């Protein structure tokens, strides 16, 4: 019951100000967003890659209001990519981007987001890695898929995310699986209406398995974005049945969640990629993590009260 309330709060400016200013917030936020700058994040990237993990990096930020902020988002990713090139980590670390941060919701936003994200995709390709376009709320997805298709003409490795909770996703999965795309499948983290999305956990889980089967049996590269132990073993079984080798799909989980499972899957020989977010505009990302697990909220509230 708490999840939808927290997701509604994730879009509220008043709550953003309140929570961002709370004295203990930073300490709790660090579990999910372990740094604000490239300098903060480099030791974490090195530590995780040393442990046999791969990463996908998210410079947090979304819902920007000016074209200048969109340009700044592009430049933040370019600076990160420069740093990864200097560290020789290009092939182990890819980028995840939210097109809203690249200007998608502004006037002329579709073209603006495409123009801003293209240099990031080019720079990533130049160091031997790639970019995945995150999925945001359902109103943004036609534009996201069109940008994905456009980028794939020159950079076929560009990936995108699909969300099992949306009714449209089974058909998106068939199209993407047929044209050989890299696709991350997640359950979905936004507050979506009953007209477009399953609301019950068991319906979402069932849809996840149907979509996963389509991806595993298709031509593309499935990326299983979930911490759910049941779905992870189903994914292994579906991969085996589809005759996929260990390097023909990968698991992805979020930094700060089930870390021991990251290492276990990597030790079994799986490709395991940790989605690692950093930056100062962490509010929306942090609130979605609270909404996913009420115990996180209880921990957060307890830390505030104990101050």
Type and span of the H or E element at 109: helix 109-126
Known catalytic residue at 184:
yes
* Residues 6 or more apart in contact with residue 58 via CB below 8 angstroms: 95, 96, 97, 98, 134, 275, 276, 277, 278, 279, 285
Grouping H, G, I as helix, E, B as strand and the rest as coil, residue 259 is helix
163 φ/ψ angles, rounded to the nearest 5 degrees: -115, 120
Q: Which residues are annotated as a binding site for substrate?
A: 98, 288-289
Q: Which is nearer to ligand FDA, 9 or 85 (CB)?
A: 9
Instruction: Report, in Å, the least distance between residue 86 CB and ligand FDA.
Output: 25
Residue 156 in tokens: 């076929």
Annotated binding site: 98, 163, 187-189, 201, 226-227, 288-289
Q: Pick the catalytic residue: 58, 92, 118, 134?
A: 134
**Which entry of 118, 152, 182, 184 is annotated as an active-site residue?**
184
E strand or H helix at 55: strand 54-59
Closer CB to ligand FDA, 79 or 209, in the complex: 209
How many whole angstroms separate alpha carbon 250 and alpha carbon 244? 11
Is-catalytic flag, 244? no
Interface residue list for ligand FDA (CB under 6 A): 134-135, 161, 163, 184, 186-190, 225-228, 252-254, 257-258, 275, 289, 292-293, 296
Report the distance separating Cα 27 and Cα 78, nearest Å.
28
CB 165 within 8 A of CB 188: yes
Helix (H) or strand (E) holding 60: none
Query: Residue 89 or 197: which CB sits closer to ligand FDA?
Result: 197
Minimum Å gap between C-beta 161 and ligand FDA is 4
State in angstroms the smallest separation of the CB of 10 from ligand FDA. Answer: 12
CB nearer to ligand FDA: pick between 67 and 261: 261
Please tell me the distance from the alpha carbon of residue 41 to that of residue 279, in angstroms, as a whole number. 9
CB 214, min distance to ligand FDA, A: 17
| Residues forming the active site | 134, 184
């Amino acid at each position: 019951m708490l999840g939808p309330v927290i997701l509604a709060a994730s879009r509220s400016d008043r709550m953003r100000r309140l929570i961002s200013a709370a004295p203990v917030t930073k300490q709790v936020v660090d579990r999910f967003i372990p740094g604000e700058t490239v300098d903060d994040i480099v030791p974490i990237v090195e530590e995780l890659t040393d442990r046999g993990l791969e990463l996908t990096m998210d410079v947090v930020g979304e819902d920007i209001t000016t074209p200048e902020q969109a340009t700044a988002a592009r430049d933040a990713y370019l600076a990160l990519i420069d740093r990864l090139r200097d560290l020789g980590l290009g092939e182990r670390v890819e980028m995840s981007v939210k097109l809203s941060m690249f200007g998608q919701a502004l006037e002329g936003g579709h073209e603006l987001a495409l123009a801003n994200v293209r240099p990031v995709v080019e720079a990533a390709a130049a160091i031997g890695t790639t970019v995945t376009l995150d999925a945001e709320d359902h109103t943004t997805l036609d534009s996201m898929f069109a940008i994905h298709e456009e980028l794939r003409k020159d950079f076929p490795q560009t990936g995108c995310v699909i969300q099992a909770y949306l009714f449209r996703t089974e058909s998106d999965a068939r199209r993407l699986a047929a044209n050989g795309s890299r696709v991350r499948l997640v359950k979905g983290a936004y507050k979506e209406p009953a007209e477009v999305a399953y609301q019950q956990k068991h319906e979402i889980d069932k849809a996840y398995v149907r979509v996963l089967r389509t991806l595993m049996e298709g031509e593309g590269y499935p990326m299983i974005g979930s911490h759910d132990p049941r779905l992870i073993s189903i994914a292994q079984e579906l991969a085996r049945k589809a005759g996929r080798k260990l390097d023909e799909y990968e698991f992805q989980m979020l930094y700060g969640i089930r870390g021991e499972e990251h290492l276990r899957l990597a030790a079994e020989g799986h490709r395991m990629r940790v989605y690692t977010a950093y930056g100062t505009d962490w509010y929306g990302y942090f609130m979605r993590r609270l909404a996913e697990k009420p115990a996180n909220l209880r921990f957060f509230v307890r830390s505030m009260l104990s101050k």
